[in-house]
Amino acid sequence: MTVPPQLALFPDTAFPHPAQRPAKPPAGSALPPNRALTIRPDTLPEGVQWQQVELDGHTIGYQLKRSRRRTLGLTINDSGLTVALPSWVKLSQAEQVLHTKSAWILRKLHEYQQRREQLALQSLQWVDGDMLPFMGVPIRLSLNPQIQQVQFEGQISQAQHGQRLCLPLPVDAEAQRVQELTQAWLQKQARLWFEQRLAHYLDLSGLSARKLRLAAPAKRWGSCNSDGTIMLNWRLIHFHPSIIDYVVAHEVAHLQEMNHGPQFWALVEALYPDFVNARNQLRQYDPGTLPLL
């Protein structure tokens, strides 16, 4: 039996498309609330001050420390933004630099916030109150023996931070049972949402696919066979709808162009004009780093 060739979403070869804009949050999505971008530590190191600055409509807190260095230094890690300021530089001068670097600062803080969400997913205990990413925002698991079926209190297409996914289980239910119900619900939502988005991009492109298959491969977010079968990694349901749209548009483009040449990327851009931003966001994650729920 001949196995039809497959094209992984991200091949090992470099992307030939000339668009190389810096990564930023997907179009149509707001940056997370300010409290999620910067969190004031309970205690600060000796000689370090907590400061705040307005950057592009966001109040960003940062740790300020004076140093003997000759130039201002910016560091962003899981603790947030740290500014190392030469002793002779005024705070107002430092803030001017922060404003000139605002796009970079907000982008990096957003990336670290996403990584924290991923770590939260990996550390799930499958108990009442756990948080997991769904459609780009963290939602809360709520165990409720009074209900008869799984219920989500928000709209699937517009999930909001902290909304509850209610499971018909006692609050002391076994973790394995909580995991099973959650996974079944996520896979169901993935199937419904992916089918809808695939239909949209097939209609937009005038192309047709033989079938949609959901899986959870460790190395791919999606693939397209030469027989017209599109595979999507169901764990994409953890990501913002704009990222899901990019993956779907990417695989639809493979129905016409079974390569990653200039014509392929031109078709992807025609289907999803802001694909570079979504692609850059997704490239921060490897399917193998997400737990097999």
> Containing domain of residue 141, as a range?
124-289
Contact 82, 75 (CB under 8 A): yes
Within this chain, do residues 169 and 66 fall inside the same structural domain, yes or no? no
My answer on whether 88 and 128 are in the same domain is no
* Whether residues 154 and 243 fall in one domain: yes
**Is residue 158 in a domain?**
yes
Place of tokens 């099973």: 180
Provide the 3-class DSSP secondary structure of residue 77.
strand
Round to whole Å and give the CA distance between 36 and 270: 34
Report pLDDT for 107.
86
| Tokens linked to 189 | 């939502």
What whole-number distance in Å separates Cα of residue 95 and Cα of residue 285? 32
110 and 25, same structural domain? yes
Task: Answer for the pair 114, 138: CB distance below 8 angstroms, yes or no.
Answer: no
Tokens of 124: 């799930």
Residues 107 and 137 in one domain: no
Same domain, 131 and 237: yes
CATH number at 203 reads 3.30.2010.10
> How many structural domains are present in the chain?
2
In this structure, the answer to whether residues 142 and 284 fall within a common structural domain is yes
- Check residue 232 and report its DSSP letter: E
Same-domain pairing of 63 and 151: no
Residue 127: predicted pLDDT: 93
Q: Which of 102, 123, 144 is the last residue of a domain?
A: 123
Say whether both 76 and 175 belong to one domain: no
Residues 139 and 246 in one domain: yes
Asked if 71 contacts 115 with a C-beta cutoff of 8 angstroms, the reply is no
**Last residue in a domain, options 105, 123, 141:** 123
Q: Are residues 176 and 103 in the same domain?
A: no
Bridge partners, residue 131, by sequence: 140
The confidence score (pLDDT) of residue 114 equals 66
Whether residues 170 and 269 share a domain: the answer is yes
Predicted confidence pLDDT, tens digits, the chain (293 residues): 333 343 433 333 222 332 333 334 443 334 444 444 666 776 777 888 899 999 888 888 898 988 888 888 888 875 678 898 888 888 888 899 999 999 999 888 877 766 665 555 556 788 999 998 899 899 999 999 999 999 999 999 899 999 999 999 999 999 989 999 999 999 999 999 999 999 999 999 999 999 999 998 878 999 999 999 999 999 999 999 999 999 999 999 999 999 999 999 999 999 999 999 999 888 877 776 665 44
DSSP 158: G
Q: Is residue 3 part of a domain?
A: no
